[in-house]
């Protein structure tokens, strides 16, 4: 039988054809005598039957157990999960990986007790996430959406991501008319617009392309819901919609049949669309119960998100995927044949995965070169593919995925050499495409080129972030660690155990990563120092500068607070 196999160590899944178990064979043999006496003929030898597993692998051993671990933490508290009498206990590596994913999501909190042991307890966010009947990462996305007033869009996204294979798979032998191909192509392309040579051909929606596959999912469901309202007579119909499904007479007689026909013409599976609608309604009802005064309703004509909301939706996906981030693979121009360079042109790398990975060919980002992307799952067929991909800004990682990165050599003063020499015999760098167009978020498409660089990169010095009300700074080394699972001594070490983040990324001085690098007391001290300096200089509160005594202002500079020997 063909079944989906999940590998806990790497987080990859693949479809494999395996033999059924002996118990399944006996159960299937019983079908021959369901109505009356019958005979079962097995098309394999008794030797093959004896080599089969006695029972099928339980789901707890073949799937991610994040939700199981989170629920047990809710009821068991500090008790170790290995002490819980599960009929089939999962592997310790699977429990460790699940707990680390939940820590990255903010559902669990790791503390060190007096004896030096580590305990992991559920947080208030984790308790809230257990009340929503979706995977933990989707529940975390809904929690973030509630904070950013994105709940209507987040519910649709979660519902669409929860239903596999939303779109119809084209069978090679099935004839499709050119008119149908054009209709389906125009339906999908209206959600993700790409820049063309002549900008007058159509409007360029930059943020739509950055949102990637999520823009297609969100736009598809919103568009079909709008069509549903039009066919039901709730809103005026767009030109050509009613005529495309048989005219007014047929629509008035069978509106559901007309909608089904339209959904199929748009290249969407009817059963999958119905499942998304049901899950959207279920989530709406549950969220209205657990969140007071939410007032969430099902809007069939939901407007398109603004550019700022598009950015927030990308951040929302990063919050739910802190351990699923990929970086553009740097390929050297020299030393590789041309066909190999072409093969790796759109390749990415992920922590702990040997070899390149690729974005699914059906994705809108399959032929784009974004420096960093977040993905829903890693699936392996002939080669590993990333599915449901969205471009992200690496500068968001320290704030939205605080447990998934590490730093060293933080810049703590402004009177030190903050330059980092990137010189070398030949270093590989990413140069953005279309350099004439700026990108404020650093998620511009990058071309894979190799150049000789002797430039000196200046690291950011500590500064006050007024938007987040914290002190941030640069560091000589900022790496993305994902799960951060240290491999066993017998496991092979790969070159990409971690991903280097750009040196321009800013890090909170009082963050978890900074505390691990400096020590909790030291990181807090430097955060207070810089906050005090900017407060005295009037950067944080401009009116405070007037209140500062003039005599002290002339004799002592606030900069002395941040000098290493100043305090």
For 117-149, b/e burial (b = at least 16 CB within 10 A) is eeebebbebbebbbebebbbbbbbbbbbbbebe
State yes or no: pLDDT of 452 exceeds 70.
no
CB atoms closer than 10 angstroms to residue 456 = 10
Amino acid 425: pLDDT: 36
Question: What is the residue-averaged pLDDT of the chain?
Answer: 80
State yes or no: pLDDT of 472 exceeds 90.
yes
The three-state secondary structure class of 268 is: strand
Cβ distance 142 to 287 under 8 Å? yes
Overall average pLDDT of the 141-166 stretch: 93
- Pairwise CA distance, residues 41 & 21, whole Å: 16
Cβ distance 87 to 61 under 8 Å? no
At 433, is the pLDDT very low, low, confident or very high (cuts 50, 70, 90)? very low
Amino acid 184: pLDDT: 56
At 81, is the pLDDT very low, low, confident or very high (cuts 50, 70, 90)? confident
Q: Which of 90-104, 154-168, 192-206, 442-456 has the lowest mean pLDDT?
A: 442-456
Tell me: the pLDDT tens digits for 479-494? 999 876 433 334 444 4
Amino acid 8: pLDDT: 59
- Pairwise CA distance, residues 480 & 321, whole Å: 13
Top-confidence residue, 452 or 148: 148
E strands, 334-482, where?
Answer: 347-349, 357-359, 372-380, 384-391, 405-410, 419-421, 427-432, 446-451, 456-458, 463-465, 470-473, 475-480
Q: Which of 6-15, 231-240, 323-332, 341-350 has the lowest mean pLDDT?
A: 6-15
Amino acid 95: pLDDT: 86
Q: Residue for token digits 């309202």?
A: 229
2-20+56-129: CATH architecture: Orthogonal Bundle (1.10)
At 234, is the pLDDT very low, low, confident or very high (cuts 50, 70, 90)? confident
Tell me: the pLDDT tens digits for 47-68? 888 888 888 878 777 777 888 8
Tell me: the pLDDT tens digits for 375-412? 999 888 788 899 999 999 999 999 999 999 999 999 99
Output the pTM of the full model.
Answer: 0.81
At 447, is the pLDDT very low, low, confident or very high (cuts 50, 70, 90)? very low
Which sign does the torsion angle of CA 28, 32, 33, 39 carry? negative
Tokens standing for 301? 């004509």
CA angle 424, 428, 431 (to 5 degrees): 125
Cβ distance 188 to 267 under 8 Å? yes
* DSSP code at position 244: G
Overall average pLDDT of the 24-29 stretch: 85
What is the longest distance spanned by two Cα atoms in the chain? 105
- Sorted by where each begins, the domain ranges of the chain are 2-20+56-129, 136-307, 316-392, 397-418+459-562
CB atoms closer than 10 angstroms to residue 164 = 11
Q: Which of 215-219, 255-259, 318-322, 486-490 has the highest mean pLDDT?
A: 318-322
């Amino acid at each position: 039988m063909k079944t989906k196999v999940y590998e806990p160590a790497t987080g990859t899944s693949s479809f494999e054809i395996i033999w059924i178990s002996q118990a399944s064979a006996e159960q299937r043999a019983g079908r021959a005598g369901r109505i009356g006496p019958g005979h079962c003929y097995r098309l394999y030898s008794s030797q093959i039957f004896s080599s089969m597993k006695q029972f099928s692998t339980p789901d707890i051993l073949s799937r991610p157990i994040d939700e199981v671990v989170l629920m047990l933490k809710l009821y068991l508290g500090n008790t170790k999960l290995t002490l819980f009498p599960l009929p089939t206990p999962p592997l310790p590596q699977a429990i460790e990986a699940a707990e680390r994913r939940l820590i990255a999501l903010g559902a669990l909190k790791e503390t060190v007790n007096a004896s030096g042991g580590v305990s992991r307890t559920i947080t208030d966010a984790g308790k809230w996430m257990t009340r929503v009947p979706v995977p933990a990462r989707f529940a975390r996305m809904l929690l973030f959406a509630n904070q950013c007033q994105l709940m209507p869009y987040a519910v649709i996204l979660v519902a669409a991501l929860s239903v596999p294979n939303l779109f119809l798979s084209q069978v090679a032998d099935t004839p499709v008319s050119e008119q149908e191909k054009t209709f389906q192509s125009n339906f999908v392309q209206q959600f993700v617009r790409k820049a063309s040579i002549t900008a007058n051909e159509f409007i360029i929606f930059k943020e739509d392309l950055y949102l990637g596959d999520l823009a297609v999912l969100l736009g598809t469901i919103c568009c079909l819901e709008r069509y549903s309202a039009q066919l039901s007579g709730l809103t005026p119909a767009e030109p050509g919609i009613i005529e495309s499904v048989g005219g007014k007479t047929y629509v008035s007689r069978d509106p559901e049949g007309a909608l089904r026909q339209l959904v199929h013409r748009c290249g969407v599976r009817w059963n999958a669309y119905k499942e998304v609608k049901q899950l959207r309604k279920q989530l709406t009802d549950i969220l209205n119960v657990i969140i007071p005064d939410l007032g969430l309703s099902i809007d069939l004509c939901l407007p398109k998100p603004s550019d700022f909301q598009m950015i927030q939706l990308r951040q929302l996906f990063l919050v739910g995927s802190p351990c699923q981030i990929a970086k553009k693979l740097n390929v050297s121009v020299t030393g590789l044949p041309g066909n190999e360079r072409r093969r790796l042109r759109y390749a990415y790398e992920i922590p702990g995965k040997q070899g390149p990975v690729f974005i699914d060919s059906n994705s809108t980002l399959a032929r784009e070169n974004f420096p960093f992307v977040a993905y829903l799952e890693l699936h392996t067929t002939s080669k590993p593919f990333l599915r449901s991909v969205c471009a992200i800004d690496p500068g968001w990682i320290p704030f939205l995925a605080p447990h998934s990165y590490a730093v060293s050599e933080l810049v703590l003063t402004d009177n030190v050499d903050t330059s980092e020499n990137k010189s070398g015999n030949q270093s590989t760098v990413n140069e953005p495409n279309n350099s004439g167009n700026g990108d404020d978020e650093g998620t511009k498409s990058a071309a894979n080129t190799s150049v000789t660089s002797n430039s000196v990169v200046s690291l950011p010095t500590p500064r006050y972030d007024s938007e987040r009300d914290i002190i941030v700074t640069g560091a000589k080394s900022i790496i993305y660690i994902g799960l951060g699972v240290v491999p066993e001594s017998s496991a092979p070490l790969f070159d990409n155990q971690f991903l280097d983040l750009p040196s321009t990324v800013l890090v909170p001085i009082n963050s978890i990563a900074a505390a691990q690098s400096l020590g909790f007391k030291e990181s807090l001290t430097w955060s207070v120092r810089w906050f005090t300096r900017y407060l005295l200089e009037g950067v944080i509160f401009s009116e405070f500068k007037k209140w500062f005594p003039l005599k002290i202002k002339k004799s002592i500079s606030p900069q002395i607070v941040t000098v290493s020997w100043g305090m």
